[in-house]
Structure 1
């Protein structure tokens, strides 16, 4: 029995297990940053410049300027007025939801990531399409004026990228704060710019995006994008004041890596086009997004015999059948994908 729970090497397009090489099509390193030598060199340069970590609060009287620099770069890169960077995506989400949930009646979209929950899992088993119709009716008919809507930007398990333009149907006197988790979209969706630029722009809608930077962007940090006013409010909150920031070295690499990200995105899109040209209509996926869902619950075991690993786990309960997905990355070579396609069509 192969031990897939105690791998002792970095993930890449290939993993050596018990002396044998396996192709790997899982995880969330969509741009291949963890194994990108140019990015690693920038990270090492950042360590040499700033050291390994910085355990002081962002409100300390003595500060590293790179944190403000990285936030300005992130805001400009992803189309926001302002940005806030934390040590993790989970912290960014919790900071935002706890800081803004008191500003209106909160509504959760289906399958919202646990990082955005205030307490227990919101009871919502609807489709996104049904939820948005119900939300329009609920808000327009209510006497409540202020609302906080919380959602993922997409469902990456059963690939679906959400369209939030339905919010334009809400009466203009209603004040909406829209919090969107774009952890799987930032760096990938909309030519790498993520979800913010597609969210509806109206005077009664305040848009705010949270994201883990540990997926496509390859650094252990969290990001919040929003207006100057909301970002300033969150920076004055207890969570931001009390938390240590991420590694300055990682943000040094993030600032310097724009061309690396662009190259990774271009290569990822080439891999997506190569794979989608070979598969049939039974696969579920979103154009330009690297997750591909199959309804064949036996595929992971079949591919394992061909020394190919894919994402496979039971969902939504431990006793459920596994959902099997193939995840592409820019670290995959053409021959990796060709071998995968040949194995699927055996």
Structure 2
């Protein structure tokens, strides 16, 4: 474990020694980008540092509706509602759907944000394979009238889902409410960073609900839920929504007014990711997804080798200490060609 005193950009300082950082989830490198910081600061001056009132208050800030309409159009959904975090967005959906009309099913590697276990009858069970999940859902449909609700991470870093979703295609989706966490996709994958909503919608599920963190692809704290107008309205008309603090309006304004910055950074990220792949001879050593900048591996020896050469990557047990060690090289829009050459030269000698 390393403790630092500032945000980990493309470079961090540990014990007075500089390291290149190829980890984290700041895919577009926005948090330390001067142009984006300037936009963010201007929005803080206008909207304040935080807005703790209910969205149902008699005084309302217009940027919420503007940002949600913009995000819905970007993603391709009928409607959108934002919240203070991606985790809260996932819990919001789970708790709302957790009733006697539905039965929950969790696909392999589903993020903890989507798990609800406050009722015995809906106690979560994560399936190891999509084959097992498929059998369980079809068996349920033959014996029960309740609607299967399938929870899924769009980016699970094993390559089982994004970009082709082969396991998902085998499910009886026409009878399934599909809840997809697109936290690691929205903002960087899909058309103009719209994520996976359009692609999965083409698979024709009974209903599609997508939730996400806005902190990874958009660089600001917040969460969002996307779906039909009826579903979003039903979510908004709850005590859960009315009683929760919203996302910071300054954060949402930065998304709304930052489109040109996002476009530029996404292009840089795509170029950097392509350059990395082109310059690693044995790219199959890593688990990765075409169109995503994360490259997963299991060699602790490689993690140590990189650190010895002044490069830190993501490497920890997630989501708990009982989980397997996860190591991941993450390319960002902030990395320079020299940064990429440096890590590629080390990797070429190893893999």
TM-score w.r.t. length of structure 1? 0.91
Q: 1:138: how far off?
A: 2.5
Q: Counterparts of 1:215-230 in structure 2 under 5 Å?
A: 215-230=216-231
CA distance, structure 2, for counterparts of residue 248 and residue 166 of structure 1:
36
**1:58-106, CA deviations, whole angstroms, 9 ceiling, x for partnerless residues?**
0111111111111111101111100000011111111111112324111
Aligned position for 1:72: 69
SS in 2 for 1:58: coil
Aligned position for 1:51: 48
The reply to whether residue 325 of structure 1 matches residue 328 of structure 2 is yes
Aligned position for 2:298: 295
CA distance, structure 2, for counterparts of residue 198 and residue 29 of structure 1:
24
The reply to whether residue 256 of structure 1 matches residue 253 of structure 2 is no
Q: 1:165: how far off?
A: 8.0
319-328 or 272-281, which deviates more = 319-328
Aligned position for 1:285: 288
Q: 1:318: how far off?
A: 3.1
Aligned position for 2:104: 106
Aligned position for 1:182: 182
Q: 1:145: how far off?
A: 4.7
Say whether the 8 Å CA contact 2:49–2:248 is kept in structure 1.
yes
Q: 1:201: how far off?
A: 4.4
CA distance, structure 1, for counterparts of residue 98 and residue 18 of structure 2:
48
Q: 1:187: how far off?
A: 1.1
4-13 or 15-24, which deviates more = 4-13
TM-score w.r.t. length of structure 2? 0.90
CA distance, structure 2, for counterparts of residue 325 and residue 204 of structure 1:
32
Say whether the 8 Å CA contact 2:179–2:208 is kept in structure 1.
yes
Aligned position for 2:138: 137
Aligned position for 2:346: 343
The reply to whether residue 307 of structure 1 matches residue 310 of structure 2 is yes
Aligned position for 1:25: 22
Say whether the 8 Å CA contact 2:31–2:37 is kept in structure 1.
yes
The gaps in structure 2 that reach 5 residues or longer are none
Cα distance 1:35–1:62, how it changes in 2: closer, same or farther (>3 A)?
Answer: same
- The match for 2:125 among 123, 126, 136 is 123
CA distance, structure 1, for counterparts of residue 173 and residue 49 of structure 2:
50
Q: 1:131: how far off?
A: 4.0
When the two structures are aligned, how many residues end up with a matched partner? 339
CA distance, structure 2, for counterparts of residue 189 and residue 116 of structure 1:
21
CA distance, structure 2, for counterparts of residue 247 and residue 171 of structure 1:
35
CA distance, structure 2, for counterparts of residue 104 and residue 123 of structure 1:
14
SS in 2 for 1:245: coil
